[in-house]
Structure 1
């Protein structure tokens, strides 16, 4: 990933150790996505999961 970021001129920023509040929005999204989407559906393949997740994201992330 680091090589890809360097190649595409993307700077990675890390949260400081012991400062989970710096990452609170993504942590909340991960928890919500896991409990409202991944724990609810049973997928037959990765393509189906991708299609369903696009619909879920469209309806839930504003």
Structure 2
């Protein structure tokens, strides 16, 4: 019957809308994940630089101690 067809078409439209929303959400999540990965990489680099600076500072302090 035509009412059944109408009902099915409405359902289909609803599913297509949901699918579209899910697709957009997935894209946004992927973008956020990429941003987080980039921030983690930057953090690792900064951390490595800080560790190196700390080691250099400790070596310099040790040299000063040995001189005195």
- Name the structure, 1 or 2, with higher relative contact order (CA <8 Å, separation 6+): 1
More helix as a share of residues: 2
